[in-house]
Amino acid sequence: MTTDRSLLSHYLGIAPSTREEGVLRLLLETAIRTVDAAEGSVLAYDHDANDLRFVMVANGPGSLIGQRVPIGAGLTGLAALTHEVQIGAPTFKTVDDANKATGVEGEPSAVIAAPMVSGDTLIGVLTAVRFKSGHRFTTDDGRAYGNFATVAALMLDQHNRLRSMTGDRGGELTTAGGYGPEEARILNALGTVARTRPDRLPRLAQLFEQMVDIAS
């Protein structure tokens, strides 16, 4: 897992060494395993430049961190533009060029780009990539990955809302892995639901939001 904590803090409001950073990382890893992807990433929306920046990469080249993707470019940019999950073959060369530069064999054969959106506000995009020829993502894969993006957006939005109200910069990490056992249990259970009953994830996202409202 490769991240740039200064970018996470600047674009997503996640301070270094917080539970939110660990939860986002575990959420990305769980989403990748759920759709059997080779790698995945988190891109944050840069409001000033009106584009996307790679801020977290799992199982992929670290050279992607900090690279920009224009809104509307390729499946990732299209997901950001339309606020809808995109599935298909890659059409923008950022990932391809980074893999060639780092010696990774092959080019992506399939991509999922799922927007992280809260209301009408774009937060970023989650991506998943496969490299094996002929291995495509299904509509169910896209739906499941989109639900993970929805939960990620909800977590980030609620974190920043509470942070802006209280000035709190988040709880400290409770384990060396960056997340506590409670977060791991929740996200592992979420992964099981995403694999077996993805249709239930929107309802779970609503329940999480209601619990946050009650807690705040």
CATH number at residue 10: 3.30.450.40
Would you state the structure tokens that stand for residue 77, as one six-digit string? 């940019």
Q: Which of 109, 152, 160 shows the shortest CA–CA distance to 130? A: 109
Least confident span in 17-21, 35-39, 90-94, 147-151: 90-94
Number of domains in the chain: 1
User: CA of 84: how far to CAs of 126, 143, 190, in Å?
Assistant: 12, 10, 21
Rounded-to-integer distance, Cα 37 and Cα 145, Å = 11
Confidence at 122, pLDDT banded by 50, 70, 90: very high
Rounded-to-integer distance, Cα 157 and Cα 123, Å = 8
- Residue 102 pLDDT > 50: no
Rounded-to-integer distance, Cα 44 and Cα 21, Å = 13
**Could you report the per-residue pLDDT of 11-69, keeping only the tens digit for each?**
888 876 677 888 888 899 999 999 999 999 999 999 999 999 999 999 988 889 999 99
Q: What is the pLDDT of residue 104?
A: 45
Domain extent for 167 = 2-215
Residue with tokens 């999922």: 112
Q: What is the pLDDT of residue 99?
A: 43
